[in-house]
Each structure stands twice: as structure tokens, then as C-alpha cells.
Copies of this chain bind each other. A is one copy, B any other.
Amino acid sequence: MKKANKKMSAAIIIIGNEILSGRTQDTNVVLITKWLNRLGVKLKEVRIIPDIEKSIVRTVNRLRKKFNYVFTTGGIGPTHDDITSRSIAKAFRQSYGYHKEAYKILENYYGKDNFNQGRKKMAKIPKKAKLIFNPSSAAPGFIVNNVFCLPGVPSILESMLIGLEGKIVKGKKIISKSINIRTVESEIARELELVQNNYKKDVEIGSYPFFKQGKIGVSIVIRSIKKNKIDDCFKKIVSFLKKKKIKIIYKKE
């Protein structure tokens, strides 16, 4: 595993008309983000874009310069609408064609007689890319510099993330604590803001109303890479909640 760095950032690019048409509910963002959290890499932005080469090239080139890592999902399959590999090659001005290692993996998986044109297409990627192993369905993902290209099918994507961990420089882990309370946001807004102002630099406090089984409540979430700051902050919030006699449903420390 590579050395832990202080702040590591990432962006996700979801490529696919099926998401933009409302046909498919994306679940890959949550999947990748939970995995990134474990590695201490902070997700800073997500873009969902169509299967259009110009959009992919432009978005990849913009985000790869802004963040430590970029993850793309979708568009590396065998059909005409799978244009991610070709677009990534274009973004990096690398040649696009059969990748020897990918070709071998796929030929071996399908057998020579069943290795048809569609399947061969999945071996066409930027020629100098490093492969991402796919334990579910053979067709590999790939890495060019800091851009990691993954498939769109969540179960396959998930199976490929584990093998990727050694290729990511870890950041300092983001710690998260939360307190669920029985009140409405406006009752705690002022006090919560005061606490946030005292920890502006180090701690991120979020407040999220919820409605569960006919009851309303608020979930306060505190996130930081500094354990002592998050502990202080947590205590201060619990203290003002007690003073205001607001019922704490549960705390996750």
C-alpha cells in the first residue's frame, strides 16, 4: 500500500444516457464513495454526462487536472454506445486499439471460437493503459495516469474496486460522527452555526432533516480528519442539546 498523504481528492464521472434519461437510478456514486472514504480520499465532485465523445474528452481533461483521482463509470462494453475507451485515448492523445494483455485475457475467457467482434471491442483501449482486473466478467477496466475507467454495472464495478486499493495513495482518513435528535432544524440552527464557526477550518458539520415512521427529526453529521477536533465539537453539540432539552435519539461516535 502506498504512503498515506494528508489530503487526497477525487471526482467521479458517470457516463451514460441511461442515467440522464431517468431510466436507471445511479448507485455507483455511493459505492465508489464509501470505498474512497475507507482510503481517506475525499470525493469533491460528480458529473453525469452523456455518451458523447466531446463531452467525455472535455470533462475528463478538466477534472483530471483538478483532482488527484478521477473515476469514470460506464461505456466500456461491446456495443456502439460504449465510447469511453476511445474518448479517454483521445483525451490523453494516446493511440487506441487492441491492448495485448486485455486481448489475451478476453480471448482466453471466451475461447477462440466465441471471441467475436463485439467481445474483441472490449480489448480496444488506450494502448499504454494499465489494466484493472475484473473477477466477475473478465473484461478489464483500465488506468491512464490518474484516470480509472470502470464499468457501469454496479455488481461488476464493486468486484473490481478491491483489486484497485494498492494503486491509490491513501489520504488521512475522514472520521465521521453523528447525532440524531427529535426536533426540527430551525430549533438548533443558531447554536449549530456557533459551533461550526469555532471549528471552521477543521470540521464540517452537516444538518439533515428526516421523516421516519411518521416522526420528524434531524441528523447532525460531523466530519473531520482530526480526531481531537471532532471530539471537542461533538461534546459541544451534545452540551447545547442537553441545555435546550432536545431529545437525543442516538449518537454514533
Chain A residues at the B interface, C-beta cutoff of 8 Å? 14, 17-27, 29-30, 33-34, 36-37, 43-51, 55, 77-81, 116-119, 121-122, 153, 155, 174, 176, 185-190, 192-193, 196-197, 204-209, 211, 221, 223
Report yes or no: A47 in contact with B46, Cβ–Cβ below 8 A. Answer: yes
Report yes or no: A211 in contact with B155, Cβ–Cβ below 8 A. Answer: yes
Task: Determine the distance from Cα of A146 to Cα of B182 in the docked complex, in whole angstroms.
Answer: 37
Report yes or no: A49 in contact with B45, Cβ–Cβ below 8 A. Answer: yes
Task: Determine the distance from Cα of A45 to Cα of B122 in the docked complex, in whole angstroms.
Answer: 26
Chain B neighbourhood of A122, CB < 8 A: 186
- What is the CB-to-nearest-CB distance from A101 to chain B, in angstroms, rounded to a whole number? 19
Task: Determine the distance from Cα of A44 to Cα of B48 in the docked complex, in whole angstroms.
Answer: 9
Residue ID in chain B nearest A155 by CB atoms: B211
Question: Top 7 nearest A-B pairs by Cβ distance?
Answer: A118-B186, A118-B189, A22-B33, A80-B193, A46-B48, A79-B207, A78-B186
Copies of this chain, complex-wide, total 2
Chain B neighbourhood of A77, CB < 8 A: 185, 207, 209
Report yes or no: B44 in contact with A47, Cβ–Cβ below 8 A. Answer: no
Report yes or no: B189 in contact with A78, Cβ–Cβ below 8 A. Answer: yes
Chain B neighbourhood of A27, CB < 8 A: 25
Extra contacts besides A79-B192, A116-B187, A121-B186 (7): CB < 8 Å? A20-B43, A22-B36, A45-B50, A46-B48, A80-B189, A118-B188, A118-B190
With beta carbons under 8 angstroms apart, the residue of B21, B117, B186, B209 that contacts A33 is B21
Report yes or no: A189 in contact with B117, Cβ–Cβ below 8 A. Answer: yes
Check A196/B80 contact, CB under 8 A, given A48-B45, A186-B116: yes
